């Protein structure tokens, strides 16, 4: 979206063009993530940054009305700009925060270069030296996911906003800790908290366990399930407050670090299961709760909505009605169909 807004402002594109670009960008990044699931992360790269550059290039290309060859060139150029390692997990440094903006800038520049006639490799995704070979350690993948059911099934309907300011996969366990605290289980009485964990999150949110139980700084704490759970077990909520100081303060509270040290994990029954469980042992009593990954959704939820009121402006309440508030605002701001301002 930032890349589209930048292009629309500079070249005086209208709302419909911007909306088209946003839709194209969202579909591109979501569908690219389905070609080789988990492999980019496992190779040590950040999918948001790698696929974000490609998505931003597609989004800006659509907004500016580039033709088929120019869009292919834009992708080919963006493939050389895509980047983003996840080594920030080692010490809680800030580079992850840079990735989305860098991807947006890369995609915008790639589209503008293609628009000016600069060329890029057509085999940027599947080639011997292409994107997936470079960032997923192999070019094999389900490339049909890029176009399967396109126009009928929209990936945007599966997106969600984060309910807590930390790694998304930690959210179900935070909910579990809240429910345990609501039962009246005091944190100081808990002997241990056992979390069922899917294999894909272990290397990012659980290992090395000693470092995750005592993160070196507040940013590293966001990628530690043991520490994210600890404040909630004590009915504190530093992850929701606006103050930048709340999480650092929680980081240095002995009670929070002590609660983090009493947590361990075990493999979940199903790697793909969205349902997660946490068990707290307090004295001779055991309390088990289950947490569903939940958040603000962009699309209707089936079987009883878990969407929050804050998402009302973005959520479609009826699939037969094509315009949300965002759509109405964008469509009302019309501009030239093919911007040509230099």
Check residue 229 and give its pLDDT. 81
State percent of the chain over pLDDT 70.
71
Across 3-7, 79-83, 224-228, least confident range:
224-228
SS3 of residue 5 by DSSP: helix
pLDDT tens digits for 300-315? Answer: 222 333 333 222 222 3
Check residue 135 and give its pLDDT. 97
Q: Indicate yes or no: pTM above 0.85.
A: no
Check residue 37 and give its pLDDT. 93
Across 58-62, 124-128, 334-338, least confident range:
334-338
pLDDT tens digits for 229-258? Answer: 876 655 555 445 444 445 666 666 777 777
Check residue 311 and give its pLDDT. 27
Distance CA 198, CA 271 (A): 5
pLDDT tens digits for 109-150? Answer: 999 999 999 999 999 999 999 999 999 999 999 999 999 998
Check residue 228 and give its pLDDT. 84
Identify the structural domains of the chain with CATH numbers, from first to last: 2-159+298-331 (1.10.4100.10), 168-292 (3.30.1330.120)
Check residue 160 and give its pLDDT. 76
Burial label for 16, CB within 10 Å (0-12, 13-18, 19+), is middle
Check residue 249 and give its pLDDT. 65
Q: Name the residue with higher pLDDT: 294 or 7.
A: 7
pLDDT tens digits for 168-201? Answer: 888 888 887 787 777 777 777 777 778 888 777 8
Strands (E) located in the chain: 160-161, 190-197, 263-267, 275-282, 285-292, 296-297
Check residue 299 and give its pLDDT. 25
Check residue 24 and give its pLDDT. 94
Helix H or strand E encompassing 90? none
pLDDT higher than threshold 90 for residue 205: no
**Spatial strand order in the sheet of 190-197:** 263-267, 190-197, 275-282, 285-292
Other Cβ atoms within 10 Å of 240 Cβ, number:
12
* Cβ-Cβ contacts under 8 Å for 165 (sequence gap 6 or more): 222, 239, 240, 247
Q: Which pair of structure tokens corresponds to residue 190?
A: 């808990």
């Amino acid at each position: 979206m930032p890349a589209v807004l930048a292009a629309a402002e500079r070249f005086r594109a209208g709302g419909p063009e911007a909306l088209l670009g946003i839709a194209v960008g969202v579909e591109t990044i979501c569908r690219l993530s389905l070609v080789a699931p988990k492999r980019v992360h496992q190779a040590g790269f950040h999918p948001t940054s790698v696929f974000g550059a490609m998505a931003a290039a597609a989004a800006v290309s659509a907004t500016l009305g580039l033709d088929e060859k120019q869009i292919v060139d834009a992708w080919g150029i963006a493939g050389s700009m895509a980047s983003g390692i996840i080594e920030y997990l080692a010490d809680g440094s800030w580079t992850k925060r840079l990735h989305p903006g860098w991807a947006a800038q890369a995609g915008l520049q790639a589209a503008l270069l293609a628009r000016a006639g600069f060329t890029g490799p057509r085999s940027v995704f599947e080639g011997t030296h292409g994107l997936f070979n470079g960032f997923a350690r192999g070019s094999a993948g389900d490339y049909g996911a890029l176009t399967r059911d396109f126009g009928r099934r929209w990936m945007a309907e599966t997106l969600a906003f984060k309910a807590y300011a930390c790694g998304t996969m930690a959210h179900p366990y935070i909910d579990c800790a809240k429910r345990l605290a609501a039962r009246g289980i005091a944190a100081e009485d808990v002997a241990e908290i056992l979390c069922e964990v899917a294999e894909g999150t272990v290397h990012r949110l659980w290992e090395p366990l000693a470092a995750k139980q005592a993160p070196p700084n507040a940013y590293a704490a966001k990628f530690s399930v043991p520490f994210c759970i600890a404040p909630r077990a004590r009915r504190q909520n530093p992850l929701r407050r606006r103050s930048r100081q709340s999480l650092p303060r929680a980081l240095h509270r002995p009670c929070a670090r002590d609660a983090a040290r009493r947590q361990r994990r075990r493999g979940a029954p199903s790697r793909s299961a969205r349902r997660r469980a946490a068990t707290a042992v307090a004295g001779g009593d055991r309390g088990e709760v289950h947490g569903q990954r939940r958040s603000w959704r962009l699309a209707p939820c089936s079987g009883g909505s878990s969407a929050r009121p804050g998402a009302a402006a973005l959520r479609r309440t009826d699939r037969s009605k094509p315009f949300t508030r965002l759509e109405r605002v964008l469509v009302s701001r019309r501009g030239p169909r093919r911007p040509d301002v230099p």
